[in-house]
Structure formats: structure tokens, C-alpha cells
Amino acid sequence: MKELFSLARRAETWRLLWLWLAEAQKELGLPISHEAINQLRSNITMTLHDFEVAEAEEKIRRHDVMAHVHAFGEAAPEAAGIIHWGATSCYVTDNADLIFLRDALDILLPKLAVVIQKLSDFARAYKELPCLGYTHGQPAQPVTVGKRACLWNQDLLMDLRNLERARADLRFRGVKGTTGTQASFLHVFKGDYAKVEELDELVTKKAGFDSAFVISSQTYSRKIDVDVGQALASFGATCERIGGDIRHLAMFKEIEEPFEKDQIGSSAMAYKRNPMRSERTCSLGRQLCNLTRNNVDTFAAQWLERSLDDSAVRRSTLPEMFLTADALMILLDNICSGLVVYPAVIKRRMNEELPFMATENFIMAMVDKGYSRQKAHERIRVLSHEAADQVKNHGKDNDLVHRVEKDPFFEPILDDLPRLLDPTTFIGAARHQVEKFTGRGGEVELALQKYQTQIASHKAAQLHV
């Protein structure tokens, strides 16, 4: 991703665009020599000298595109007079940006597919392990570790769909001239609109796009940046959501992100195992959410056919969006490759809350034995409050089950208590939901079909800081 948004790749993509334009113009009969085309083709790669020439020229002209036209013309003197023929600056700047958006999404999508597959494997491995559910930050009806991971994966599948849709919606700006009317190219081709249309189509195909926008101004619509940015922002929100859940679970000591043997959690508190990967994920996810605001404001601020206040902010925002998203892909890959689950802690925490959750089971069991539902409800209410008092005011363990066992009223169901307290009876259809979601023909498998080659060849991402 860093190479894609490097200065060298930018300049070389501009040179490719000038080559494609010249090739198409020659194919349509304009007087451009073979030698001119060969020199352009032989000088696509930027040298240090090319950069020095462009830098010196830009200091004089204060125009980056014309500085690079000059540098390219010096490297390919036979083509110097036909480089940029009929074009405007946005022919190279905007078409290059669309190429970068396309290629950046192509980098991100397989990485996201890998993360989804790893989370799917994790969910299947723990589809039957009961754990406390939480609503309002308070213990609620149990779920399973695998079912919770499917919540994360469902959001990531939405992100995959959003990014695929943004990728599919991309079109080339093409050859449109200064205000999008193609007037300069009509002049070049002596009013032959059919050749202008063919020129647009030829350059679009050379750039690897299926189609170009019919309508544009001097630029492609900045709403494209908004749409792509919103898909990335939505992914950033998912990352912060997942990272936050893992941080909470690490706080409970139920699940931890990978932690190396010699990793240090705190410079002062040597025992600490800080979830720094998840914290970084939350931080960068928040950053990615906020970056796209620049795209929204820039689109809204455009005047008529174009205003240049879009240029500087886009040159920093677009690369930063994708570099941040790429960093998040690396983090999620690394985390999902080594999530650690502590079943004993999960069981202990379940046992602390399970007696309260089982009270309805106790009541229904008494009703099954022929006893009054209201009397059973009142008796369990009193015992529950007594047990809660021991927990909250005296710091003792939850002894509700012990109180039930000692109360003569509940003697008819004492033999049933182990069954009524079995955690697996509280998780509903969680296991089946995980299997349906992640199994053969499920949503995960269908979404990842096109990425199987990349998934099969992938190795876990490594963090170096």
C-alpha cells in the first residue's frame, strides 16, 4: 500500500497515462511517430534525475503537472511536442487517483477476506463454549464464544460487501478535456466526435477499466471519494467495535489477544498484559472513521465545474485513508491468528451469575411438579435478594443454589438442580446459528468464494512495533 501511494508510483502512473493517450491518438491517425511512442514507453520508470528535473521546473512554473510534462519530454525528446496533446491536468491527476482507488481496494479486499475466514474458524472452534452475554454492560442470557465472534464477522461481511460495491462502482474519468465537454479533443480530431468517443474508449481500456463516466466536469465527481471513504469509515467503525469487545473480554480475563513470551505490558507494572493490539485497532479505527469527513466537506465545497481547494486535502486524505485501513487489516489478521480463550475463567464467571439466571428454570420446574407458580416466584425472589445481599454488601460468593438446596419448599426439584443449572441449556440455538452462518453454503462461504486462492496462500501478519 505504501508503494501504491508513493511519489514514484504517482509520477509513473502519470507517464503511463500520457503514453496511453499518445498510443490511442496514433491508432486513430494522428501524426505521432513510432520513435516518439518507443521513447515514452522506455521512460516510464522515474529516475532520480527525472525527479530533479521535475522539482526544478516546478519551482519555476508552480505547476506540478507541467513540471512532469517537461521532465518526461526531456527523457523522451521525440515525444516532447505531443505529450499531453488535448489534455488538461486532471487527465493525469484524476485518472491516476481512480487507478489508485481501484488498486488500493484490490489490496484490501483479499486481506479482509482472510480475516473473515480466520474469525469463522475461531467461531466454529468455540461454537459450543457457553459464556455470559452482556446487555447494558450487565450479565445477560448466556451466548457462546463462537456466537459472539459471529457478531463481529457479520459486521465484517457487511464491510466486505460495501468495499466490493465501492470497487464495482468505480469508473474511469477518461478523456474529457478542461470542463468535461471534450472540446479540445474535438478540435484535435477536426470535429470527428466518433473518433473522440473511440479515443475515450481506447484509453479507458488501456487503463484497465470497463467503462468511463459519460458525464464529468474538469474532475471526476468528488462524490466518488465520499462513497469509497464511507465504506472505509464503516470498516473503521467495525474495527473499533471488535477491538473494544476484545479489550472488555481481556479485562474479564476470558479472552486475550496474542501476547509474546518476552512482550512487556507496562514499564512499571511488570505483571500487566495490556491489549495493545486491540487498543491500537480502536485508535486507528476511530481515525479512519473521521478521515472521510474531509471527503464529504470537499465534495460539498466544489464550485460549478471545479475549484482547486480540493487538491491539497485529497493528496493527504486519500493515501491516509488506505494506509490506515491497511494497518487495520494487518492488526485484525494478527489478532485473529492468535486469540487465546480461557475456558476455566469463563466457566467461573458463568457460575457466579448462573444461579440468578436459572431462577426461572427453578420456578418452571416447581410448576411441573404441581406447585403454584406465584408461590415459587415469591420464594425464589426472597432467596435471590438474600444471596445478592451477600454478594454486594459482604463480598461473598453467590450462594443462591445453596439457599435453594436448604429450603424445604424446593425439595421436589433438588434432584433436577444439576440439569437446571447446566450452562449449555441456556444458549438456545447458538451452536446451530454458528454452523449455519459459517458452514457449507452459509453466508461466510458464499462471500469468500472468489478469495479462496488468497486465503489458501496467506500467512499470518506479523507486527514489528
Which residues are catalytic, by number?
136, 266
Nearest residue to 80 via CA among 52, 40, 49, 46: 40
d(CA 259, CA 250): 12
DSSP 141: E
Residue 312: what residue type? Answer: A
**Among candidate residues 248, 282, 275, 257, the one with its CA nearest the CA of residue 139:** 248
Q: What is the dihedral of CA 92, 95, 100, 101, to 10 degrees?
A: 150
Measured between alpha carbons, how far is 324 from 314 in angstroms, rounded to an integer?
Answer: 15
- Other CB atoms closer than 10 Å to residue 416's CB: what's the count? 16
How many Å from the N-terminal Cα to the C-terminal Cα in the chain?
18
Q: Which residue has the cell 478523456?
A: 175
**Grid cell in block for residue 387:** 444471596
Q: Which three cell numbers stand for residue 28?
A: 486513430
The 3-state DSSP class for residue 106 equals helix
CA 299 to chain centre: 22
Of 290, 300, 322, nearest to 221 by C-alpha is: 300
Report in angstroms the alpha-carbon separations of 149 from 144, 243, 358.
Answer: 9, 12, 25
DSSP string covering 231-292, please?
A: HHHHHHHHHHHHHHHHHHHHHTTSEE----TT--S-SS-TT----HHHHHHHHHHHHHHHHH
| Cβ neighbourhood burial of 453 (10 Å; 0-12, 13-18, 19+) | exposed
Q: Which distant-in-sequence residues (6+ apart) come within 8 Å of 84 by Cβ? A: 18, 21, 65, 69, 91, 92
Task: Kindly give, in sequence order, each residue whose CB lies less than 8 Å from that of residue 453, ignoring residues fewer than 6 positions away.
Answer: none
CB 376 within 8 A of CB 420: no
Q: What is the CA radius of gyration of the chain?
A: 31
Task: Count the neighbouring beta carbons within 10 Å of the beta carbon of residue 256.
Answer: 18
